[in-house]
Amino acid sequence: MFHSFYQTPFGTAILRASERGITEIKFDVKTENVGSDHQNEHITQAISELGDYFQGSLKEFQVALDLAAGSTFYQKVWNALLKIPYGKTTSYKQLSIDLGDVKAIRAVGTANGRNPIAIIVPCHRVIGSDGSLTGYAYGLDMKQKLLHLENPATMGIQSTLF
């Protein structure tokens, strides 16, 4: 396994990768003690792409992902998240419908909340059916700023991300 710390506008993140691709992007890593960076090409590419994303110049990530750590259902949800276009949102209900079972809304919400690859697998693009910002592992402020970065015209906040 490979890992690297990366300074973002939201604080320090840790990126982890296998030989196949990125396995995790996690924030709030102050207490983690994993030693010095041990990067591979996937981490190098992810850091570059994240930098471009935060500057507003990248709309679609190309870095390889390794989602093997999740159950088959979780992987299905995470792959559906990857299809939500930059600057757009969907609801938990609509995501459940898209996955073929409107009754799975809670399970979809749980899978969304357990997304191990923040930002690149865009769970921040899932909102409540009424348009409200609901649940985000790193807080609603970060979710709102990410959505504003991607679509400032519709997110209606005054402040900028940077």
Task: Answer whether residue 162 shows pLDDT above 50.
Answer: no
3 contacts 17 by C-beta, under 8 angstroms: yes
Choosing from 22, 121, 123, 127, which is the catalytic residue? 123
Residue among 49, 40, 126, 146 at smallest CA distance from 81? 126
Q: Which domains does the chain carry?
A: 2-54 (no CATH), 72-155 (1.10.10.10)
Residue among 8, 50, 4 at smallest CA distance from 162? 8
Which pair of structure tokens corresponds to residue 160? 């900028």
Task: Answer whether residue 3 shows pLDDT above 50.
Answer: yes
Instruction: Establish whether 123 is a catalytic residue.
Output: yes
C-alpha span between 60 and 52 (Å, rounded):
10
pTM (two decimals):
0.89
Confidence tier at 155 by pLDDT (50, 70, 90): low
Secondary structure class of 86 (helix, strand, coil): coil
Crossing angle (nearest 10°) for helices 105-113 and 72-81: 80
> pLDDT of 38-59, one tens digit each?
889 999 999 999 999 999 999 9
- Contacts of residue 51, defined as CB under 8 A and 6 or more positions apart, other chains included, come to none
> pLDDT of 117-142, one tens digit each?
999 999 999 998 888 898 888 999 99
Radius of gyration of the chain (CA): 15
